[in-house]
Amino acid sequence: MPSTWLITGATSGFGRLVTERALAAGAHVIAVGRRRDRIAELVQLAPKGQITAVELDLTAPDAQTVITDTVRSVGRVDVLVNNAGYGLFGSIEQIDADEARAVFDTNVLANLAVLRATLPALRASRGRVLQTSSLIGQFAWPSSGLYAASKGAVELISEALAHELAPTGVKVTIIEPGTFATEFATNLRVVPPNDVYAPTVGKFLTDISELPPEAFGDPHAVADAIMTVAALEEPPLRLAVGADAVEHIRASLRSRLTELDRWESLSLAPAHQSA
C-alpha cells in the first residue's frame, strides 16, 4: 500500500519540494497550505488521486478539527512533515505583544494542533514525525530572539514527544536547516531597530542582507534529507542540514560546555550557612 504523507506549508519552500518528491515516489499527500492559487497549482500538477488538498490557516480556531476530519476521511497517515511557519526578526524590546503572540501561534501552537490531529493515525501506522526547526532553534543571534524562541520550543516539544512515543514505534526527527535560498526571506517580518539596537540588531540584519547568493544553500538538499530520514528505520532525533548549520550548532554547543565547565565550581558550591 502506498504511504500517506501529511505536509503543512506544502505550497512553498521546503514543504513544496518535499510534496513534489513524495508524489513522485508514489505517496498520497495531504497537502496543507494557506494560498488558494498555490493549492490549486499543486492539484493540477499531482498525479490523479494522489493528493488531498487542504486550504487552511493553521492558526484558525477550527484548524485541528479540519486536520482531524481530513485524516479520518483519507484513512491513514504514515509521515507527518510539520513544516508551516515564518520568521520574525527584531530586538526583543521592540517586538510588541501582538507580533510575539502571532509568531508563537503559527510556529508553536499550530504545530501542536497538527500533532494532536495526526498522532492517533501515526501511532496506528507506527509512522514518522518530522518537525521543521532551524539552526537557530539551538541558539540565538541578535534580532532572532522571538523566532529562535519559537523554534526552541518546537525542539523541546519534539524531544519530549520522541521519549513519550518511543514505546509506540513512532519516530520523531527535528530538521534544523541552515541558510537556504527559499521564500523564507520574502515572507519574514522584520522590526527595524532603533538607535539603541543599531550596533547589534542593526549590524546583524545588515550583514545578513549583504550576503552573496552563494552563501545560501540549495533548498533541494533539505528536501532530500527529509526524504532520506523519513525512510530510516532508526532516524536521528536531530538533523542539522547545511554546512553553516553544522558549524554554528557545533560552536554553540562547545561554547555552552566551556561555560558549564568554567562555572562548575560555583554551581556546586555549598549553600551559605548562616550562624
Instruction: List per-residue pLDDT tens for the chain, 275 residues long.
Output: 679 999 999 999 999 999 999 999 999 999 999 999 999 999 999 999 999 999 999 999 999 999 999 999 999 999 999 999 999 999 999 999 999 999 999 999 999 999 999 999 999 999 999 999 999 999 999 999 999 999 999 999 999 999 999 999 999 999 999 998 676 666 789 999 999 999 999 999 999 888 887 788 889 999 999 999 999 999 999 999 999 999 999 999 999 999 999 999 998 888 775 55
Catalytic residue among 144, 147, 158, 197: 147
**Is 197 one of the annotated active-site residues of the chain?**
no
**Is 133 one of the annotated active-site residues of the chain?**
yes
pLDDT recorded at residue 211: 85
Catalytic residue among 12, 133, 134, 158: 133
pTM of the model: 0.92
Closest CA to 186 of 86, 57, 104: 86
Domains by residue range for the chain, with CATH: 4-260 (3.40.50.720)
User: Residue 187, Cβ neighbours under 10 Å: how many?
Assistant: 12
Q: How far apart are alpha carbons 209 and 89 in whole angstroms?
A: 13
Catalytic residue among 151, 158, 171, 197: 151
**Is 151 one of the annotated active-site residues of the chain?**
yes
Q: How far apart are alpha carbons 174 and 136 in whole angstroms?
A: 12
pLDDT recorded at residue 185: 63
CB neighbour list of residue 21: distance below 8 Å, 6 or more residues apart: 223, 224, 227
pLDDT recorded at residue 209: 87
Q: What share of the chain is helix, strand, coil (3-state, %, to 5)?
A: 55, 15, 30
Give, in degrees to the nearest 5, the angle at Cα 29 between 27 and 32: 165
Q: How far apart are alpha carbons 112 and 105 in whole angstroms?
A: 10
Burial class (CB in 10 A: 0-12, 13-18, 19+), 124: middle
